[in-house]
Structure 1
């Protein structure tokens, strides 16, 4: 069974990892730090060790690591050596979750199962910090 883990940028721009929770309203009369409604990533201890995060940066761990041992998250940009598939090409794509499977896609022209390429894949960035990595050279 794969571990459930999330990552997101906190409101200061730093990446944090752990459990994800959306707080829709203040927790009654309980005051723990500056806890307000919003999206949070916390460690296993939970509040007060939770970080308010930018909801658009929340991504889930796929349960897989790349060839260097780096965890692969939804929204990562990866390079895949597809020498056995497409004449020795290296392709770039974004990790997505679609219809129950983790896929790598290059904006729609192809999609390949993340599981099938696990030994030949490297995380090179993510869509939040490195969107230019997915731009097509003209």
Structure 2
């Protein structure tokens, strides 16, 4: 009854759209039409209900503001975390490039060492042959 009509009126008054304004007008007309049968107690109850609804709306608005602040904070934290992750990915890529370059350098050194070792082995073989030849010929 009257409480529902009062809530509808309050909700419609707090809205800002044309539909809500029309609803408020219709509700006010319904209250006026039914108002002749309202008792003072029923009117007080409607006023108390309207005040309660306003208080709930104010609390909901505060909660919405807090939620928006929290959302902005979380979005900022998310952006920061994304940047940190991107930075770490770049560092990992850079270290991988460094490791690959070091590996290539190590492989180059290994090839050079293998070549030098082969040359030294060949030269040592030649020296051993000459030494053996000298000994056979008795040359000191």
TM-score between the two structures when normalised by the length of structure 2: 0.20
Of the two, which has the highest radius of gyration?
2
More strand as a share of residues: 1
TM-score between the two structures when normalised by the length of structure 1: 0.20
